[in-house]
Amino acid sequence: MDRLRCGVIGLGTFGETHLQAYSDHPGAEVAAICDVNEQRLEEAGERYGVEQRFTDYRGLLAVDGLDAVSVVTPDFAHTDIVVDAITGGKAVLCEKPLATTLEDCDRIGEALRANPVPFMVDFHNRWNPGVSRIKEAVEAGDLGRVEMIYHRLSDTIFVPTKMLSWAGRSTVLWFLCSHCLDALRWILDDEVARVYTVCGARVLKAMGIDTPDYYFSVVEFRGGTKAVIENCWILPESRPSVVDATLEVVGEKGTFYFNPSPERLLKLTEDRISTVDSYACVPVHGRTVGFCVDSIRHFADCLLKGRKPLVGFEDGREATRVILAMEQSAREGCPVDL
Q: What average pLDDT does range 25-50 have in this prediction?
A: 97
* Predicted pLDDT of residue 24: 93
CA atoms within 13 A on the CB side of 254: 10
Helix (H) or strand (E) holding 158: helix 158-158
The whole-number pLDDT of residue 322 equals 98
Closest by CA position to 21, among listed 95, 129, 98, 116 = 95
pLDDT tens for 161-188 read 999 999 999 999 999 999 999 999 999 9
220-229 pLDDT, tens digit each:
999 999 999 9
In angstroms, what is the C-alpha Rg of the chain? 20
Mean pLDDT of the chain: 96
Q: What percent of the chain has pLDDT over 90?
A: 89
Band (278; pLDDT cuts 50, 70, 90):
confident
Beta carbons of 86 and 92 less than 8 angstroms apart: yes
Angle 85-102-245 from CA coordinates, rounded to 5°: 90
Q: How confident is the model at residue 43 (pLDDT cuts 50, 70, 90)?
A: very high
φ/ψ of residue 151, rounded to 5: -135, 115
H or E segment at 123? none
φ, ψ at 19 (rounded to 5°):
-60, -45
pLDDT surpassing 90 at residue 142: yes
Tell me: pLDDT of 2 over 90. no
Evaluate if residue 69 carries a pLDDT over 90.
Answer: yes
Structural domains of the chain in order of their starting residue, each with its CATH number: 4-123+286-310 (3.40.50.720), 126-282+319-337 (3.30.360.10)
Phi first, then psi, for residue 284 (nearest 5°) are -135, 120
pLDDT confidence of residue 264? 72
My answer on whether omega of the bond before 97 falls inside 30° of 0, hence cis, is yes
